[in-house]
Structure 1
Amino acid sequence: MALFSDRATRPDETTDHPGAPVRRRARRRRFTPRDVAVFALLLGIPIVLDVVLIWGPTAASAVLSFSRWDGVSDLVWNHGDNYRQIVQDYPPFWPAVWHNVIWLVFLGLVATPLGLFLAVLLDKGIRGTRFYQSAIYMPVVLSLAIVGFIAKLVYSRDYGALNGVLGLTQHPVDWLGDPSKNLWAVLVLVAWRHIGYVMILYLAGLKAVDPELKEAASIDGANEVQTFFRVTFPTLRPINIIVLVITVIEALRAFDLVFIINKGRNGLELLSVLVSANIVGEASRIGFGSALAVILTVISLGFVVTYLVQVFREEKR
Structure 2
Amino acid sequence: MALTFPRRAGRRRFTRRDLVVLGVLLGIPVLLDITVVWGPALASIGLSFTAWDGIGDIHWVGGDNYGNLVDNYPPFWPAVRNNVLWLLFLGLIATPFGLFLAVLIDRGIRFSRFYQSVFYMPVVLSLAVVGFIAQLVLGTDQGALNTLLGNRDDPVDWLGDSRLNIWMMMIAASWRHVGYVMILYLAGLKSVDPALKEAAAIDGAGERQTFFRVVLPTLRPVNVIVGVITVIEALRAFDIVYAVNKGRNGLELLSVLITDNIIGEAGRIGFGSAIAVVLLVVSLGSIVTFLVQELRGARET
Deviation sequence 1:110-164 (CA, Å, 0-9, x none): 1000000000000112222222111101011023343222111111112111111
Pairwise CA distance, 1:26: 6.2
What is the deviation of 1:275?
0.4
Report the equivalent of 1:176: 159
- SS of the residue corresponding to residue 223 of structure 2 reads helix
Aligned partner of 2:62 in structure 1 is 79
Contact 2:231–2:287 (CA under 8 A) maintained in structure 1: yes
The secondary structure found in structure 1 opposite 2:62 is coil
In structure 2, what is the equivalent of residue 105 of structure 1? 88
- Distance of aligned partners of 1:29 and 1:153 in 2 relative to their CA distance in 1, 3 Å threshold: same
Mapping 1:29-44, distance limit 5 Å: 29-44=12-27
Matches within 5 A, 1:82-97: 82-97=65-80
CA distance in 1, matches of 2:295, 2:132: 43
Of residues 212, 231, 254 in structure 2, which corresponds to 1:229?
212
2:287 is the counterpart of 1:304: yes
Higher alpha-carbon Rg: 1
- 2:148, 2:5 → 1: CA distance? 88
Structure 1 residue corresponding to 2:261, chosen from 278, 297, 300 = 278
One-letter code aligned to 2:239: D
Shift of 1:165: 1.1
Structure 1 residue 223: Cα displacement: 1.4
Larger displacement relative to structure 2 (233-242 or 163-172): 163-172
Question: When the two structures are superposed, what TM-score results if normalisation uses the length of structure 2?
Answer: 0.96
Are residues 1:193 and 2:189 paired? no
In 1, the alpha carbon distance for the partners of 2:275 and 2:196 equals: 48
CA shift, 1:9, in A, is 6.2
5+ residue gaps, structure 1, are 13-24
**DSSP 3-state at the match of 1:269:** coil
Residues 145-160 of structure 1: matches in 2 within 5 Å?
Answer: 145-160=128-143
Task: Give the conservation status (yes or no) of the 8 Å contact 2:106–2:189.
Answer: yes
Equivalent in 6, 19, 22 of residue 2 of structure 2: 6
Aligned in 2, Cα 1:127/1:47: closer, same or farther, shift over 3 Å? same
Q: Normalising to structure 1: TM-score of the pair?
A: 0.91
How many residues get paired? Answer: 300
2:198 to 207, 210, 215: 215
How far apart, CA to CA, are the structure 1 residues paired with 2:279 and 2:42? 14
Bigger relative contact order (CA 8 A; separation at least 6): 2
Aligned to 1:52: 35
Q: Secondary structure at the match of 2:172?
A: helix
**% identity of equivalent residues:** 65
SS at match of 1:268: coil
Instruction: Label 1:6 to 1:91 Cα distance change in 2 as closer, same or farther (>3 A).
Output: same
**Aligned partners of 2:284 and 2:127: how far apart in 1?**
25
1:134: which partner in 2?
117
Q: 2:108 maps to what in 1?
A: 125
Distance in structure 1 (CA, Å) of the matches to 2:137 and 2:284: 35
Q: Which residue of 2 aligns with 1:248?
A: 231
TM-superposed CA distance for 1:295, in Å, is 0.3
Alpha carbon RMSD of aligned pairs, Å?
Answer: 1.4
Check conservation: 2:105, 2:112, Cα contact below 8 A: yes
